[in-house]
Structure 1
């Protein structure tokens, strides 16, 4: 009997066809980036040859088969100290560069904006640059283990929001995809940029520490592409326009001016609501989110006020209950079982079998 057809072989010069167009642009930049001290993954080396051989496709998992779906963001290694970083390509004269530079230079313990490590102008005309920031992961994965972890995260995001507002900056795009955490303590084995539920890009066991067992964990805001700076401060700020994320915020308008700082507060409140809806045990904190998402912008408290309320509620909960495991509303039996296991050994890493990319 005839077996399945052999995969077609790559012809000379066709390896680049395995890459998306925007990936080939990163390949073109690779020699320059290497010359200024940043190394991309093997897939983006001009001399890359697929680890699975001279075929178009592979049925087995290979790290260099993982493609980056975003054209403007990629991970790299800073060669001088082997630090993992993220490169974001933006226009050199953009407002985003000015804002992140401005915020990064302010020394304040409340500053939870992502640090700016470098700005790399790109040849040939320097019209675009790469922002270099530390490698981080989404703040809400791995799942929260207990209320104390939620409190620590929201404390920092409220502090960070007050910090930005005190310095005249409205983020204007606060959403889970722009709220990150330093994974170094939580996922000490690291994670793959394209496949963050794996350590190396290969399917298998994904291990992590409960955040409460390695606290403090540092949280950050990223992506200032929609951010605005108001020299006269937050009280006099007005703007117009709508948003893709959280587009149901009541005051958004193309014609009637509104205060974007109040929108920030609403956005963070909505994020809190999503978490509370996911974890029923977080219900005691709902009043904080309710006030932040008031339909009347003037009724929304300052982030510092919400932080006080959050802390007051947390202080009413006995410490053992703050650190007791909580379960996602949509969690299955396996997640509940893992939660029970964590009660037996709080110092043991959490593990998850991840079978896909």
Structure 2
């Protein structure tokens, strides 16, 4: 589904919540470490709408917006102005997250140089003073993978290309993600959003003064990333790849419905279910359903990916082989065609249709391929 931002800031009272105070108390140390927080999280903060003579209005003031999530806050890296996110991780609760994340994407490592690696790069690990259990992982600020909406089928194909490739990379290196549903697939889009966007209210500019200007995926192809390795599992080559199931965000996984004691299971097959079910349920904005022919070409593959019997699900290698065959069957007319929003009424969408055709002509003139190709 398309990203929906709340009409009003969730934390606009001018009084910090307890989780915000944790970040506020870390702010001087984070500043010394080279990361600047938004005004709201600085020790010296006074709500802009309460400053005498200020023209700031509470509901649209930038500093009325709080946390992305309790453990996650955006920041700016001082040395280059790069927008990042800071994620608090408890070593006791997630003892392997930093280790697995570093293994997959530590800067400068051989793994990080692999073009098939779609694990969000780990830029830095900070260790706050006076708290031996807490560590802060630093990553690039990303955007929801479905925002803005997909414009063409070629853009959708590129999305599947990248996430299947990324999961294959993880599985090849014996890492099962454990929670690779749509919430944990995001994209980098500095090219799509040349002026940036507000980290919390992502449809607006960084200062909330206007809508965030953006191009399409065809014009500036994004790169999709898996995030959140809190329940990921890494195996050794000599060990059986079985693990006790840990429930992620998707509560429909068949092997997670068993009450009582369960045996160790294949977590790689569970990853396949997560990706398949994210597509089958709604492909975010665009539903694969009997009444919608838009994505029927994906139905046979997705149906296998969500098989109740995890032993009958395809491996990621088999998924990619089948997807390549499916992709090769799509016509040159289909790929640049407009993806229709589920249940849309054509007559009411004339402006969107006209806008698409205007862009489509521009794509041809500019030589944009129908399936976008990301370039770093």
TM-score (structure 2 length as normaliser): 0.81
Unaligned runs of 5+ in 2: 1-11, 364-376
Distance 1:330 1:63 in 2: 35
Q: Of 259, 269, 277, which residue of structure 2 is paired with 1:270?
A: 277
Distance 1:330 1:28 in 2: 48
Residues 1:239 and 1:60: Cα distance change in structure 2 (over 3 Å)? closer
Distance 2:59 2:166 in 1: 43
* DSSP 3-state at the match of 1:165: helix
The residue that corresponds to 2:330 in the other structure is: 317
1:124 is displaced (CA, Å) by 1.3
**Larger deviation, residues 333-342 vs 17-26:** 333-342
Q: Of 187, 194, 215, which residue of structure 2 is paired with 1:181?
A: 187
Distance 1:334 1:116 in 2: 44
- Counterparts of residues 49-60 of structure 1 (less than 5 Å): 49-54=46-51, 58-60=57-59
Residues 1:112 and 1:336: Cα distance change in structure 2 (over 3 Å)? farther
Distance 1:156 1:336 in 2: 31
**Larger deviation, residues 242-251 vs 257-266:** 242-251
Q: Of 247, 251, 259, which residue of structure 1 is paired with 2:251?
A: 247
Residues 1:233 and 1:175: Cα distance change in structure 2 (over 3 Å)? farther
Q: Of 212, 222, 229, which residue of structure 1 is paired with 2:227?
A: 222
Distance 2:178 2:349 in 1: 34
Q: Of 120, 129, 132, which residue of structure 1 is paired with 2:126?
A: 120
Residues 1:39 and 1:186: Cα distance change in structure 2 (over 3 Å)? same
- Counterparts of residues 1-357 of structure 1 (less than 5 Å): 18-54=15-51, 58-68=57-67, 70-92=69-91, 94-104=95-105, 105=109, 106=111, 107-200=113-206, 202=208, 204-215=210-221, 217-232=222-237, 236-241=240-245, 243-252=247-256, 253=258, 254-257=260-263, 258-273=265-280, 274-275=282-283, 277=287, 280-331=293-344, 337-346=351-360, 347=362
1:204 is displaced (CA, Å) by 4.5
Distance 1:345 1:156 in 2: 24
TM-score (structure 1 length as normaliser): 0.85
**Per-residue CA distance 1:209-267 (angstroms, 9 max, x = gap):** 1212223x211000011111121478x22223452522222222452222111000000
Q: Report if the CA contact (8 A) 1:99-1:224 is conserved.
A: yes
**Larger deviation, residues 204-213 vs 41-50:** 204-213
1:151 is displaced (CA, Å) by 0.9
**Per-residue CA distance 1:32-88 (angstroms, 9 max, x = gap):** 011010000111111112211249x95541011111152210000111111111100
Distance 2:333 2:104 in 1: 37
CA-based RMSD of the aligned residues comes to 2.5
Q: Report if the CA contact (8 A) 1:116-1:132 is conserved.
A: yes
Residues matched between the structures, number: 331
Distance 1:225 1:201 in 2: 32
* DSSP 3-state at the match of 1:251: helix
Distance 2:178 2:17 in 1: 31
**Which protein is richer in strand relative to its size?**
1
Unaligned runs of 5+ in 1: 1-14, 349-357
